[in-house]
Amino acid sequence: MMAMASRNALLKNLNLILSRKYTSRTQVISGTSVELPSCHGKSLEQSDYKRWDNGGGMFHNSACIDHTALIENGAIVHSNCTIAKDVQIGSGTVIGSSTSIGESTTIGYNVVLSNCSVGQFCVIHHGVCIGQDGFGFFIDDKGQVAKKPQMLNVRIGDHVEIGANTCIDRGSWRDTVIGHFTKLDNLVQIGHNVQIGKCCIICGQSGIAGSATLGDYVTMGGRVAIKDHVLIASKVRLAANSCVTKNITVAGDYAGFPAMPAEEWRRQTVNMRLHFKKGRSL
Protein backbone atom coordinates (compact mmCIF):
# COMPACT_ATOMS: atom_id res chain seq x y z
CA MET A 1 0.00 0.00 0.00
CA MET A 2 2.81 2.40 0.85
CA ALA A 3 4.51 1.65 -2.48
CA MET A 4 1.24 2.33 -4.32
CA ALA A 5 0.78 5.63 -2.46
CA SER A 6 4.34 6.69 -3.28
CA ARG A 7 3.79 5.83 -6.94
CA ASN A 8 0.57 7.85 -7.08
CA ALA A 9 2.26 10.82 -5.41
CA LEU A 10 5.13 10.65 -7.92
CA LEU A 11 2.73 10.59 -10.86
CA LYS A 12 0.79 13.52 -9.41
CA ASN A 13 3.97 15.59 -9.04
CA LEU A 14 5.08 14.67 -12.57
CA ASN A 15 1.74 15.75 -14.03
CA LEU A 16 1.96 19.01 -12.10
CA ILE A 17 5.44 19.72 -13.50
CA LEU A 18 4.35 18.95 -17.05
CA SER A 19 1.26 21.12 -16.76
CA ARG A 20 3.42 24.06 -15.69
CA LYS A 21 6.08 23.57 -18.36
CA TYR A 22 3.86 22.84 -21.36
CA THR A 23 0.53 24.60 -21.50
CA SER A 24 -1.88 25.26 -24.31
CA ARG A 25 -4.93 27.35 -24.78
CA THR A 26 -7.75 27.54 -27.27
CA GLN A 27 -8.55 30.68 -29.22
CA VAL A 28 -11.41 31.29 -31.64
CA ILE A 29 -10.09 32.50 -35.00
CA SER A 30 -12.64 33.32 -37.71
CA GLY A 31 -15.27 31.29 -35.91
CA THR A 32 -13.04 28.21 -35.58
CA SER A 33 -11.62 26.91 -32.32
CA VAL A 34 -7.84 26.62 -32.78
CA GLU A 35 -5.44 25.02 -30.32
CA LEU A 36 -2.38 27.27 -30.08
CA PRO A 37 0.96 25.52 -29.43
CA SER A 38 2.96 26.67 -26.46
CA CYS A 39 6.10 25.92 -24.50
CA HIS A 40 7.38 26.74 -21.01
CA GLY A 41 4.06 28.25 -20.04
CA LYS A 42 4.13 30.91 -22.78
CA SER A 43 2.09 30.47 -25.93
CA LEU A 44 3.22 31.62 -29.35
CA GLU A 45 0.50 34.26 -29.30
CA GLN A 46 1.94 35.68 -26.08
CA SER A 47 5.54 35.59 -27.31
CA ASP A 48 7.33 37.70 -29.92
CA TYR A 49 5.75 35.66 -32.72
CA LYS A 50 2.35 36.42 -34.18
CA ARG A 51 0.10 34.90 -36.81
CA TRP A 52 0.14 36.54 -40.25
CA ASP A 53 -3.35 37.38 -41.47
CA ASN A 54 -2.69 36.54 -45.12
CA GLY A 55 -2.07 32.78 -45.03
CA GLY A 56 -1.87 31.97 -41.34
CA GLY A 57 1.91 31.57 -40.98
CA MET A 58 3.91 32.93 -38.06
CA PHE A 59 6.24 35.92 -38.00
CA HIS A 60 8.48 37.68 -35.50
CA ASN A 61 7.53 41.15 -34.31
CA SER A 62 10.81 42.60 -35.59
CA ALA A 63 10.29 41.35 -39.16
CA CYS A 64 9.41 43.95 -41.80
CA ILE A 65 6.76 42.38 -44.04
CA ASP A 66 4.76 44.05 -46.79
CA HIS A 67 1.02 43.66 -46.28
CA THR A 68 0.63 41.97 -49.69
CA ALA A 69 2.93 39.07 -48.78
CA LEU A 70 1.47 35.57 -48.41
CA ILE A 71 2.85 33.43 -45.58
CA GLU A 72 1.07 30.09 -45.61
CA ASN A 73 0.09 28.15 -42.54
CA GLY A 74 3.07 26.26 -41.11
CA ALA A 75 5.65 28.74 -42.43
CA ILE A 76 7.61 30.96 -40.05
CA VAL A 77 9.53 34.20 -40.55
CA HIS A 78 12.15 34.89 -37.89
CA SER A 79 13.52 38.12 -36.46
CA ASN A 80 14.75 41.11 -38.50
CA CYS A 81 13.68 39.66 -41.84
CA THR A 82 12.56 41.86 -44.72
CA ILE A 83 9.79 40.52 -46.96
CA ALA A 84 8.86 42.71 -49.95
CA LYS A 85 5.49 43.01 -51.65
CA ASP A 86 3.78 40.12 -53.40
CA VAL A 87 6.17 37.54 -51.94
CA GLN A 88 4.65 34.06 -51.52
CA ILE A 89 6.02 31.70 -48.87
CA GLY A 90 4.80 28.10 -48.86
CA SER A 91 3.85 25.91 -45.92
CA GLY A 92 6.67 24.44 -43.87
CA THR A 93 9.18 27.04 -45.01
CA VAL A 94 11.55 28.63 -42.50
CA ILE A 95 12.96 32.11 -43.14
CA GLY A 96 15.94 32.58 -40.84
CA SER A 97 16.87 35.74 -38.99
CA SER A 98 17.95 38.80 -41.00
CA THR A 99 17.05 37.24 -44.35
CA SER A 100 15.69 39.53 -47.06
CA ILE A 101 13.39 38.50 -49.92
CA GLY A 102 12.72 40.75 -52.90
CA GLU A 103 9.48 41.69 -54.61
CA SER A 104 7.29 39.03 -56.25
CA THR A 105 9.52 36.12 -55.28
CA THR A 106 7.79 32.75 -54.89
CA ILE A 107 9.07 30.22 -52.35
CA GLY A 108 7.78 26.64 -52.31
CA TYR A 109 7.12 24.21 -49.48
CA ASN A 110 9.68 23.15 -46.87
CA VAL A 111 12.35 25.61 -47.96
CA VAL A 112 15.00 26.82 -45.49
CA LEU A 113 16.57 30.23 -46.05
CA SER A 114 19.20 31.63 -43.69
CA ASN A 115 22.15 34.01 -43.92
CA CYS A 116 21.03 35.13 -47.36
CA SER A 117 19.37 37.76 -49.49
CA VAL A 118 17.08 36.86 -52.39
CA GLY A 119 16.37 39.26 -55.24
CA GLN A 120 13.17 40.16 -57.06
CA PHE A 121 11.00 37.85 -59.18
CA CYS A 122 12.82 34.69 -58.11
CA VAL A 123 11.34 31.20 -57.93
CA ILE A 124 12.62 28.85 -55.22
CA HIS A 125 11.15 25.37 -55.48
CA HIS A 126 10.31 22.87 -52.74
CA GLY A 127 12.99 21.62 -50.39
CA VAL A 128 15.69 24.13 -51.28
CA CYS A 129 18.25 24.96 -48.56
CA ILE A 130 20.20 28.21 -48.81
CA GLY A 131 22.68 29.71 -46.36
CA GLN A 132 23.75 26.70 -44.32
CA ASP A 133 27.41 26.17 -43.42
CA GLY A 134 29.74 25.08 -46.17
CA PHE A 135 31.84 21.91 -45.99
CA GLY A 136 35.10 23.21 -44.56
CA PHE A 137 37.34 21.28 -42.16
CA PHE A 138 41.03 20.94 -41.29
CA ILE A 139 43.29 18.85 -39.06
CA ASP A 140 44.22 20.83 -35.96
CA ASP A 141 47.32 20.62 -33.74
CA LYS A 142 45.76 17.76 -31.78
CA GLY A 143 45.24 15.69 -34.90
CA GLN A 144 41.49 16.14 -34.77
CA VAL A 145 39.13 17.27 -37.50
CA ALA A 146 38.14 20.87 -36.76
CA LYS A 147 35.57 23.04 -38.47
CA LYS A 148 36.52 26.16 -40.40
CA PRO A 149 34.34 29.18 -39.58
CA GLN A 150 31.53 29.77 -42.07
CA MET A 151 30.41 33.30 -41.25
CA LEU A 152 29.40 35.00 -44.50
CA ASN A 153 26.27 34.99 -46.64
CA VAL A 154 24.58 33.98 -49.88
CA ARG A 155 23.41 36.62 -52.36
CA ILE A 156 20.81 35.58 -54.93
CA GLY A 157 20.20 37.98 -57.83
CA ASP A 158 16.95 38.92 -59.57
CA HIS A 159 14.92 36.54 -61.76
CA VAL A 160 16.82 33.50 -60.47
CA GLU A 161 15.11 30.09 -60.43
CA ILE A 162 16.34 27.36 -58.08
CA GLY A 163 15.12 23.78 -58.52
CA ALA A 164 13.84 21.44 -55.85
CA ASN A 165 16.25 20.13 -53.20
CA THR A 166 19.13 22.28 -54.40
CA CYS A 167 21.61 23.39 -51.72
CA ILE A 168 23.64 26.61 -51.71
CA ASP A 169 26.19 27.03 -48.90
CA ARG A 170 27.10 30.31 -47.23
CA GLY A 171 30.56 31.80 -47.72
CA SER A 172 33.61 31.55 -45.48
CA TRP A 173 35.99 34.12 -47.01
CA ARG A 174 33.63 35.69 -49.57
CA ASP A 175 29.89 35.62 -50.14
CA THR A 176 28.40 32.89 -52.28
CA VAL A 177 26.75 34.65 -55.25
CA ILE A 178 24.19 33.60 -57.87
CA GLY A 179 23.89 36.19 -60.65
CA HIS A 180 20.77 37.67 -62.23
CA PHE A 181 18.63 35.42 -64.47
CA THR A 182 20.63 32.29 -63.62
CA LYS A 183 18.64 29.04 -63.55
CA LEU A 184 19.48 26.01 -61.40
CA ASP A 185 17.87 22.62 -61.92
CA ASN A 186 16.85 20.17 -59.18
CA LEU A 187 19.49 18.57 -56.96
CA VAL A 188 22.33 21.00 -57.63
CA GLN A 189 25.06 21.52 -55.02
CA ILE A 190 26.73 24.95 -54.82
CA GLY A 191 29.66 25.00 -52.40
CA HIS A 192 30.75 27.85 -50.17
CA ASN A 193 32.33 30.95 -51.77
CA VAL A 194 31.18 29.96 -55.26
CA GLN A 195 30.35 32.91 -57.48
CA ILE A 196 28.19 32.38 -60.57
CA GLY A 197 27.59 35.09 -63.16
CA LYS A 198 24.37 36.13 -64.86
CA CYS A 199 22.25 34.05 -67.24
CA CYS A 200 23.92 30.72 -66.42
CA ILE A 201 22.07 27.40 -66.80
CA ILE A 202 23.03 24.50 -64.53
CA CYS A 203 21.34 21.13 -65.04
CA GLY A 204 20.43 18.56 -62.41
CA GLN A 205 22.88 16.64 -60.21
CA SER A 206 25.71 19.04 -60.99
CA GLY A 207 28.13 20.01 -58.25
CA ILE A 208 30.35 23.07 -57.95
CA ALA A 209 33.02 22.79 -55.29
CA GLY A 210 33.95 25.65 -53.00
CA SER A 211 35.44 28.94 -54.23
CA ALA A 212 34.94 28.21 -57.93
CA THR A 213 34.09 31.19 -60.15
CA LEU A 214 31.85 31.02 -63.21
CA GLY A 215 31.45 33.83 -65.71
CA ASP A 216 28.26 34.85 -67.49
CA TYR A 217 26.22 32.61 -69.82
CA VAL A 218 27.90 29.41 -68.65
CA THR A 219 25.89 26.26 -69.44
CA MET A 220 26.41 22.99 -67.56
CA GLY A 221 24.81 19.71 -68.62
CA GLY A 222 23.61 17.12 -66.14
CA ARG A 223 26.04 15.68 -63.57
CA VAL A 224 28.85 18.10 -64.36
CA ALA A 225 31.48 18.40 -61.62
CA ILE A 226 33.66 21.47 -61.09
CA LYS A 227 36.76 21.38 -58.91
CA ASP A 228 37.27 23.90 -56.13
CA HIS A 229 39.01 27.23 -56.82
CA VAL A 230 38.84 26.95 -60.62
CA LEU A 231 37.85 29.78 -62.94
CA ILE A 232 35.50 29.23 -65.88
CA ALA A 233 35.23 31.97 -68.50
CA SER A 234 31.96 33.38 -69.80
CA LYS A 235 30.07 31.53 -72.55
CA VAL A 236 31.59 28.14 -71.76
CA ARG A 237 29.34 25.13 -72.38
CA LEU A 238 30.06 21.89 -70.53
CA ALA A 239 28.68 18.59 -71.80
CA ALA A 240 26.92 16.21 -69.42
CA ASN A 241 29.20 14.22 -67.09
CA SER A 242 32.15 16.54 -67.70
CA CYS A 243 34.63 17.17 -64.90
CA VAL A 244 36.49 20.48 -64.80
CA THR A 245 39.82 20.11 -63.01
CA LYS A 246 41.59 23.32 -64.09
CA ASN A 247 40.78 26.81 -65.31
CA ILE A 248 38.94 27.27 -68.60
CA THR A 249 39.86 30.67 -70.00
CA VAL A 250 38.48 30.45 -73.56
CA ALA A 251 34.78 30.36 -74.42
CA GLY A 252 33.50 27.30 -76.25
CA ASP A 253 32.25 23.74 -75.83
CA TYR A 254 34.02 21.32 -73.48
CA ALA A 255 33.51 17.67 -72.57
CA GLY A 256 35.13 14.69 -70.89
CA PHE A 257 37.11 13.91 -67.76
CA PRO A 258 39.18 15.96 -67.44
CA ALA A 259 37.21 18.52 -69.44
CA MET A 260 38.82 19.45 -72.77
CA PRO A 261 37.60 21.15 -75.96
CA ALA A 262 34.69 19.09 -77.23
CA GLU A 263 36.23 18.49 -80.66
CA GLU A 264 39.37 17.08 -79.08
CA TRP A 265 37.28 14.87 -76.80
CA ARG A 266 35.36 13.52 -79.81
CA ARG A 267 38.60 12.68 -81.65
CA GLN A 268 39.99 10.90 -78.60
CA THR A 269 36.79 8.93 -78.18
CA VAL A 270 36.79 7.82 -81.84
CA ASN A 271 40.50 6.90 -81.75
CA MET A 272 40.00 4.89 -78.59
CA ARG A 273 37.13 2.95 -80.13
CA LEU A 274 39.15 2.25 -83.27
CA HIS A 275 42.11 1.14 -81.16
CA PHE A 276 40.04 -1.36 -79.16
CA LYS A 277 38.28 -2.57 -82.30
CA LYS A 278 41.62 -3.15 -84.01
CA GLY A 279 42.96 -4.96 -80.96
CA ARG A 280 40.02 -7.35 -80.90
CA SER A 281 40.41 -8.09 -84.63
CA LEU A 282 44.01 -9.23 -84.07
Say which CATH number the domain at 178 has: 2.160.10.10
Among candidate residues 40, 67, 192, 275, the one labeled active-site is: 192
160, part of any domain: yes
Distances 39 to 45, 71, 81, 205, 248 between C-alpha atoms, Å: 11, 23, 23, 41, 55
Distance of CA 105 to the CA centre of its chain: 15
- Confidence at residue 240, expressed as pLDDT on a 0 to 100 scale: 97
CA gap 173, 17 in Å, rounded: 48
23, part of any domain: no
78, part of any domain: no
CA gap 153, 172 in Å, rounded: 8
Range of the domain at 195: 115-281
According to DSSP, the residues that pair with 48 across neighbouring strands are none
105, part of any domain: no
Query: Which segments of the chain have a pLDDT < 50?
Result: 2, 14, 16-42, 44, 46, 282
271, part of any domain: yes
Four-point Cα dihedral 238, 244, 246, 250, nearest 10 = 0
272, part of any domain: yes
Number of domains in the chain: 1
Q: Under DSSP, is residue 248 helix (H, G, I), strand (E, B) or coil?
A: strand
Average pLDDT, the chain: 87
43, part of any domain: no
Q: State what percent of residues in the chain have pLDDT above 90.
A: 78
- Confidence at residue 7, expressed as pLDDT on a 0 to 100 scale: 53
- Confidence at residue 29, expressed as pLDDT on a 0 to 100 scale: 33
45, part of any domain: no
Spatial contact of 46 and 63, defined as CB atoms under 8 Å apart:
no
Q: DSSP secondary-structure letter at 37?
A: P
Q: Note if 229 is an active site residue.
A: no
- Confidence at residue 47, expressed as pLDDT on a 0 to 100 scale: 83
